[in-house]
């Protein structure tokens, strides 16, 4: 038995749709279907009637669904009790967060909160967005802190989590000032000068946002470097290697000093919302205080 099988089945029992449930669980549909099959093999009976559309729970599935839900709830409650009893101290608040947000926002914000919340203990899981979403979905983390874009795909069903929008940041193309001036790097000028492009991995969340900004236009960008981390792209940008899309919080000091400049007008920019997700039933008292404070 794998606890993920129970989580998958509860999700499928709610959605009655393999594709939608797989999306919520942040795995491919074939992998999701295999895990449901594994649970059925473990029980020895089919839980789903796949011949109907939408799919329906079998009699055994209807009987097992509340058991699976109660089992997951009991495990979650017991975990919180054990965490809270650890060394007689408050449990760790576990936060899944994008690496760039951890570096540029969360670390300093947690430091500020330590004086207000003396019992606060935080464990940060800094990773790519799909991994962060999975850590949050499977209950490893109690919070998810990430960027959200109005045109981006939803991370979860809004009715199963709580969400707080913390701030809005401008996401725009920037370059080292001298390199931009010498090379004539300006996306809004209409010039056809080749501009070295420092790109996110195309499968990353921010990579998809940049693709949406560019759209069907064909700016004179020539791919020079690719990385999934904003901090790596920032270092290359500061070194004068090319143009990268970065959020203002990541390059605030460099923009203020004039070391970096914006190389595209509003049509090449968009807003990103810094958003905190949680599930209220996972939070202890300290977790609820952290939710209110962030």
Q: How many domains are contained in the chain?
A: 3
Domain-embedded: residue 153: no
* 70 and 129 inside one domain: no
**Longest distance between any two alpha carbons in the chain, whole Å:** 72
CA 286 to chain centre: 23
**Distance between CA atoms of 101 and 104, rounded to whole angstroms?**
5
* 100 and 43 inside one domain: no
Q: In this structure, what token pair is assigned to residue 37?
A: 């099959």
Determine if residue 26 is left, alpha or beta; phi over 0 gives left, psi from -120 to 50 gives alpha, anything else beta.
left
Per-residue pLDDT of the chain (294 residues; tens, 9 = 90+): 788 899 999 989 988 999 888 888 878 889 899 999 999 999 999 999 988 888 999 999 999 999 998 888 788 777 766 665 554 555 789 999 998 899 889 999 999 998 888 888 899 999 888 888 888 887 888 899 999 888 766 666 656 688 899 999 999 999 999 999 999 999 998 777 799 999 998 878 888 899 999 988 889 999 999 998 888 999 999 999 999 999 998 999 999 999 999 999 999 999 999 999 998 777 888 889 999 998
Domain-embedded: residue 60: yes
* 64 and 112 inside one domain: no
* 255 and 186 inside one domain: yes
* 175 and 251 inside one domain: yes
Domain-embedded: residue 267: yes
Domain-embedded: residue 160: no
Domain-embedded: residue 191: yes
Alpha helices by DSSP H, listed for the chain, are: 3-15, 18-24, 29-43, 59-85, 99-101, 107-114, 129-137, 177-183, 205-214, 230-238, 252-257, 285-293
**77: domain CATH number?**
1.10.10.10
The answer for residues whose C-beta is within 8 angstroms of residue 86's C-beta and 6 or more apart is: none
* CA proximity to 172, closest of 255, 292, 240: 255
Q: What local confidence, expressed as pLDDT, does residue 201 receive?
A: 87
Beta strands in 150-194 (DSSP E): 162-176
* 118 and 204 inside one domain: no
Structural domain boundaries enclosing 51? 3-84
* 284 and 215 inside one domain: no
* Domain stops at, among 65, 84, 103: 84
**243: domain CATH number?**
3.40.190.10
The predicted model scores a pTM of 0.68
Contact yes or no for 56/106 (Cβ under 8 A): no
* Domain stops at, among 84, 106, 138: 84
Q: What local confidence, expressed as pLDDT, does residue 290 receive?
A: 92
The answer for residues whose C-beta is within 8 angstroms of residue 60's C-beta and 6 or more apart is: 43, 45, 46, 47
* 80 and 91 inside one domain: no
Q: What local confidence, expressed as pLDDT, does residue 86 receive?
A: 55
């Amino acid at each position: 038995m794998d606890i993920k099988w129970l989580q998958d089945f509860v999700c499928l029992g709610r959605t009655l749709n393999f594709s939608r449930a797989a999306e919520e669980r942040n795995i491919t549909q074939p992998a999701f279907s295999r895990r449901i099959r594994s649970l059925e093999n473990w029980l020895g009976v089919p839980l789903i009637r796949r011949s109907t559309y939408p799919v329906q729970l079998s009699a055994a599935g209807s009987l097992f669904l509340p058991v699976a839900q109660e089992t997951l709830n009991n495990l979650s409650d017991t975990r919180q009790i054990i965490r809270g009893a650890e060394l007689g101290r408050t449990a760790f608040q576990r936060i899944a967060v994008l690496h760039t947000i951890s570096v540029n926002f969360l670390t300093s914000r947690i430091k500020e909160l330590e004086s207000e919340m003396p019992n606060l203990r935080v464990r940060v899981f800094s990773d790519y967005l799909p991994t962060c979403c999975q850590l949050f979905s499977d209950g490893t983390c109690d919070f998810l802190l990430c960027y959200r874009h109005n045109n981006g795909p939803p991370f979860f069903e809004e009715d199963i989590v709580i969400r707080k929008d913390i701030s809005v940041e401008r996401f725009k193309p920037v370059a080292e000032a001298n390199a931009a001036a010498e090379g004539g790097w300006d996306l809004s000028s209409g010039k056809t000068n080749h501009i070295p492009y420092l790109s996110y991995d195309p499968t990353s969340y921010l990579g998809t946002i940049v693709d949406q900004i560019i759209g069907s236009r064909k700016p004179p960008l020539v791919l020079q470097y690719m990385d999934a981390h904003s901090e790596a792209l920032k270092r290359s940008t500061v070194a004068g290697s090319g143009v990268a899309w970065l959020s203002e919080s990541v390059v605030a000091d460099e923009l203020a000093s004039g070391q970096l400049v914006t190389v595209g007008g509003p049509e090449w920019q968009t807003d990103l919302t810094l958003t905190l997700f949680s599930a209220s039933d996972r939070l202890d008292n300290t977790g609820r205080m952290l939710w209110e404070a962030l």
